[in-house]
Amino acid sequence: MRFCGSEVELMVDSILQRADDEPALCSATDFEGRRWLIVEASHDDRVVSWLCVPTSSRVVTLVEAGRAAPTDAVLHSLTGWVEVVATIDGHSVPDRRVACSDLVDSGLLTTA
């Protein structure tokens, strides 16, 4: 999967969860073999955004098995940050790197 206009290039390994027949949570691998989770952060008429989370194979396995919540994986990424990829009105906007500690305050992630 290549997010058009984005620097993030990931190959989806598996769709783990769907929302309204669209992928909402996926496991992925980058071109260097590193594991990622792709979590849909928002989806409305104007804005679609994803949190691309660097993680470990063990975390992906735990999320797949339902033994770890995707939110926990996002808040505790392997590197302490996530890449935010978004489109507004069908046009890509520059990627943003956001610290996990700032995700809830920024409104990108809700823990409820």
pLDDT at 3: 60
Mind listing the pLDDT tens digit for each residue in 52-75?
Answer: 999 999 999 999 999 999 999 999
State how far the Cα of 71 lies from the Cα of 1, in Å rounded to an integer: 22
Number of H helices, E strands in the chain: 2, 6
Say what the pLDDT of residue 64 is: 92
Measuring CA to CA, how many Å separate 62 from each of 25, 30, 41, 69, 111? Answer: 13, 19, 20, 8, 18
Can you read off the two tokens belonging to residue 5? 């206009």
* pLDDT of 6: 66
Cα–Cα distance measured from residue 21 to residue 95, given in angstroms and rounded to the nearest whole number:
25
The full set of domain ranges for the chain reads 10-102
Residue ranges of the chain with pLDDT lower than 70? 1-6, 110-112
Task: Tell me the three state secondary structure of residue 73.
Answer: helix
- Please give the span between the terminal C-alpha atoms of the chain, in angstroms, as a whole number: 29
pTM of the model: 0.86
| Predicted pLDDT of residue 112 | 46
pLDDT of residue 111: 55
Q: How far apart are CA 46 and CA 89, in angstroms?
A: 5
The per-residue pLDDT for 20 is 79
- Residue 77 has a CB neighbour count (10 Å cut-off) of 22
